[in-house]
Structure 1
Amino acid sequence: MSTDTIFSIRPAQASDVAHIHAMIVELAVFEKLEHLVVATEAMLHEGLFGARPACEAIIGEENGKVVCFALFFHNFSTFLTKKGLYLEDLYVLQSHRGKGYGTKMLTRLAQIAVERECGRFEWSVLDWNEPAIQFYKAMGADILPDWRICRLTGDTLAAMAERR
């Protein structure tokens, strides 16, 4: 980072939705999952700023330009009987990687978790994304080898809901 570069982090605002949506699409392309993206800006706006928001986001800006985001929400640990902070997505524009912005975003999220008295801060990483795995390990994160994500979506979710 040059001495005239200013990086700042702030809570997302409704005017950031287009930027966040564009980065979600870029992230999906990177993860080779773009075929799964059905999100629209309107849907994202509802999730972040609607009557009953489901999530929150923080924005990273370089000299006032949006260059990264992190989208997160609270979960709950029955073992700790405390809420947790779950990071759904963190994305830094490719042209702005290597400047420490990912570290700063994770640090801010950890601060939010501590401020809100969360028992833990968690996220998932794709098993093939070795640079991300190494980055998270360098940040002190444990990669849990014994846990697998279980997911129901679409028709299988509907079928489960219909079971008697």
Structure 2
Amino acid sequence: MTAATIAVRPAAPEDVALILRFVRELAEYEREPDAVAATVPMLHEALFGAKPHAEAVIAEADGVPQGFALFFHNFSTWTGRPGLYLEDLYVTDAARGKGLGKALLRHLAGVALDRGCARFEWSVLDWNTPAVEFYRAMGAQGMDEWTVQRVTGEALERLAGRA
């Protein structure tokens, strides 16, 4: 059996429905199948609208889309340089173990270097041992002394003084 030909390409507007399908599959994998509120028009605007908020790339095996990564820039005041933040990385169950995840990470690491980023970072659920082990094998280090803080919904409205 020959290895699949793997390619990573920028997402195009016609990929938005595919990206949303992958997002829903990722949510299912992460045990939150009902948490996805995004729609095709919302993702299209976020990725390809007048003021894009994020970018995405598609991973293909033998020309068939099997995964994606969605990312955006953040900024480090300490380094004085931008960073690349990986919001989602997903490879279909059938394509796992074939090198697509590694190809996506390598591609984004190259994007980060090409754009002068000081960091390439992301979050991973602590129970997702296969992902944590994969990321460690790629050279990632856990930032265990940091915890994510989040304000959403009514709490966000209260914090903004709008509730």
Give TM-score, length-normalised by structure 2: 0.96
Within 5 Å, which residues of 2 pair with 1:72-91?
72-91=71-90
Structure 1 partner of 2:140: 141
Equivalent position SS for 1:149: coil
Q: How far apart are 1:63 and its partner, in Å?
A: 1.9
Q: Distance in 2 between matches of 1:72 and 1:130?
A: 22
CA contact (8 A) 2:13 2:48 kept: yes
Q: How far apart are 1:62 and its partner, in Å?
A: 1.5
Q: Distance in 2 between matches of 1:37 and 1:160?
A: 24
Within 5 Å, which residues of 2 pair with 1:1-164?
2-3=2-3, 5-162=4-161
Q: Distance in 2 between matches of 1:38 and 1:86?
A: 21
Q: Distance in 2 between matches of 1:153 and 1:103?
A: 32
The count of aligned residue pairs is 162
Counterpart AA for 2:2: S
Aligned-residue CA RMSD (Å)? 1.1
Map Cα deviations across residues 84-142 of structure 1 (whole Å, 9 max, x no partner): 00000000000000101101110000000000000000000000001111100000100
Equivalent position SS for 1:9: strand
CA contact (8 A) 2:46 2:53 kept: yes
In the alignment, structure 1 segments of 5+ residues that lack a partner are: none
Counterpart AA for 2:63: G
Q: Percent sequence identity over matched residues? A: 52
Q: Distance in 1 between matches of 2:79 and 2:33?
A: 36
